[in-house]
Structure 1
Amino acid sequence: MKSSSIVLRFVSAALLTGAAAFVPVMAQSGPAFKTLNTAQPSGSGDKVEVMEFFAYSCPHCADMEPMVEEWVKTLPANVAFIRVPVAFNAAMQPMQQLYYSLEALDKLDLHPKVFNAIHKEGKKLFTKDAIIDWAATQGIDKAAFTAAFDSFGVTAKVKRATEMTDTYAIEGTPSFAIGGKYVTSPGMTGDYASSITQAQKLLDQVLAEKK
């Protein structure tokens, strides 16, 4: 039987290929989190990093986005929240470039709108041309967005995101990495709310260890 995290990964890929995707009711069948064999250093100075590994094609990520946004508002100043777009296959890479292009253009206010466009409006923002056309409808200059999309900076961040996905052994989205040590997800905890609760517990533990 496939684990919940593997099924989540399948769902993200299936949406890209047009295959019928079954979104299961997630149930806890093992530990609520995993500990990395080797702790990863923070790239945010003295701040503790909380990473959300997500994919725009993932319906669970879309459903959780409002909850994640509310949780982020509660994080203290000594915590850095970092979104990491995941690509489990080459077809998903344009969506990584989409996220980092929005970041480069200081347009991350459109991040939730990407989920809405794909999962509520049925837009297939899975290719460069479709993404650029959609960005233009949001008031972004096509030339500026295209330049960002193809830039060295965005390409480097995409490569780094893929490396981090491998380093943290991410098998499904959404997943949360805490303090470079721990990973949890709805597939591990059983549902969306409990995954955020578990992530907060792990964060509290990491912060306490730093005192």
Structure 2
Amino acid sequence: MISRRNLLTFSAASLASLPLSAFATPTAPVEGKEYTMVRPVVPMKGKKIEVVYFFSYTCPHCFRFDPIIEPWSKKLPSWIDFKLNPVAWDSRLDPFVKTYYALESLGLLPKLHMKFFESVIYQTHKYENPAADIADFMVKAGVNAKQWNSAYNSFGVANKTRAASRLWQSYGIDATPMIGIDGKYVTGPHMTPTRESDLVVVETLAQRARKARL
């Protein structure tokens, strides 16, 4: 877990994803142990159960978790709306949030999300002047400079960056990685024995939220 008060950057090795069934986890997660309640509840607009993965490109723990949560998210049932929400603890880190949404708008997340993540965590590219250094990374990765700057500075990316900030604050997120479930629950891999078992907790809480809506 990395908090806004303890931003660290160090080398991290990707972990192979293992089946969730291979890990023990409580069938009835305990409040205050495996998860916490969101108070006040974040209002939900959609019909689906929202599951939000709060992460930061500067978070080595998120880097370890990403290869586990990504394939898991592809197998979720259709009644769950899963999304990533990048976090910036202050405006100095906003360029990293904007990077996620710029990559999304260009359809480049599958190609460059992890490559960019690796460059930050392994420090293979310096980000002393984030906006300019990020643009330099993207150009060296094959992205057209004009297209990148247009996407990065677009109205849509700016709006999504502001919305991302409002959402993590609404959920009361003060560390990453964390997962919010339907505006009611928050859990994270540091709250369970393994990263994989935390995803079982997420599934349980999503089912609970779904039943509460019926």
The TM-score bracket by the shorter chain reads: 0.7 to 0.9
* Pairing partner for 2:125 from 107, 123, 132: 123
1:148 Cα shift? 1.1
The question of whether the paired residues in 2 share the 8 Å contact of 1:95 and 1:125 is answered with no
Map 1:182-193 onto structure 2 (within 5 A).
182-193=185-196
1:65 Cα shift? 0.6
Flag the 1:162–1:150 CA change in 2: closer, same or farther, 3 A: same
* Pairing partner for 1:9 from 4, 27, 30: 4
Correspondence 1:48 to 2:49 = yes
**Alignment correspondent of 1:71:** 72
1:96 Cα shift? 0.4
Amino acid at match of 2:4: R
Mapped partners of 1:143, 1:208: distance in 2: 48
1:190 Cα shift? 4.7
**Alignment correspondent of 1:114:** 116
The question of whether the paired residues in 2 share the 8 Å contact of 1:31 and 1:188 is answered with yes
Mapped partners of 1:10, 1:51: distance in 2: 22
**Alignment correspondent of 2:105:** 104
Amino acid at match of 2:63: A
Q: Between Structure 1 and Structure 2, how many residues are aligned?
A: 192
Mapped partners of 1:88, 1:182: distance in 2: 21
The question of whether the paired residues in 2 share the 8 Å contact of 1:50 and 1:81 is answered with yes
1:77 Cα shift? 1.3
* Pairing partner for 2:145 from 133, 142, 146: 142
The question of whether the paired residues in 1 share the 8 Å contact of 2:8 and 2:59 is answered with no
* Pairing partner for 1:164 from 143, 167, 172: 167
Mapped partners of 2:77, 2:68: distance in 1: 17
Normalized per residue, the structure richer in helix is 1
**Alignment correspondent of 2:94:** 93
* 1:172-208 deviation line (CA, Å, top 9, x unaligned): 0010001111111123335422322211211122223
Amino acid at match of 1:35: M
Aligned-residue identity in percent = 32
Mapped partners of 1:158, 1:190: distance in 2: 32
**Alignment correspondent of 2:181:** 178
1:118 Cα shift? 1.9
Mapped partners of 1:78, 1:183: distance in 2: 19
Q: Which runs of 5+ in 2 are unaligned?
A: 12-31
* 1:30-68 deviation line (CA, Å, top 9, x unaligned): 52111112322334x321111011000100000011101
The question of whether the paired residues in 2 share the 8 Å contact of 1:50 and 1:176 is answered with yes
**Alignment correspondent of 1:154:** 157
Mapped partners of 1:42, 1:142: distance in 2: 38
**Alignment correspondent of 1:25:** none
* 1:129-149 deviation line (CA, Å, top 9, x unaligned): 111111112221111111111
**Alignment correspondent of 1:34:** 36
Provide the TM-score with structure 1 as the length reference: 0.82
Q: Which runs of 5+ in 1 are unaligned?
A: 22-29
Mapped partners of 1:182, 1:61: distance in 2: 19
